[in-house]
Amino acid sequence: DQQVKQNSPSLSVQEGRISILNCDYTNSMFDYFLWYKKYPAEGPTFLISISSIKDKNEDGRFTVFLNKSAKHLSLHIVPSQPGDSAVYFCAASALNDYKLSFGAGTTVTVRA
């Protein structure tokens, strides 16, 4: 029972353009959301997070948007760079819950 869903398994984008990654969740108790980036043969690396009290959080080229009513969040990367080519995981946690629930990941390929 996947409570966090990333319905696009892959995304290809040209260098310099915007990458938009989407994530949907079903558990209304989730109140903290994170994006992780993962290169092959490495562990996931924390990228950016957002609390449910906000609808946007920005960190350099990365912006996460949260739409609580739609139970949807997105990650915008602009401009996309070749080093952004990786698998991106959306994750969420609920109040008083230590664990993270992960989506299946979206593989981003940035073309030169």
Partner 1 sequence: DTAVSQTPKYLVTQMGNDKSIKCEQNLGHDTMYWYKQDSKKFLKIMFSYNNKELIINETVPNRFSPKSPDKAHLNLHINSLELGDSAVYFCASSQDPGPGTSTDTQYFGPGTRLTVL
Footprint on residues 34-73 left by partner 1 (CB under 8 A): 34, 36, 41-46, 49, 51
Establish if 26 lies at the interface with partner 1 (CB under 8 A). Answer: no
CB of 108 closer than 8 Å to CB of 85: yes
Establish if 20 lies at the interface with partner 1 (CB under 8 A). Answer: no
CB of 92 to partner 1, least distance (A): 9
Of 19-27, 31-39, 59-67, 69-77: span binding partner 1 (CB under 8 A): 31-39
CB of 39 to partner 1, least distance (A): 10
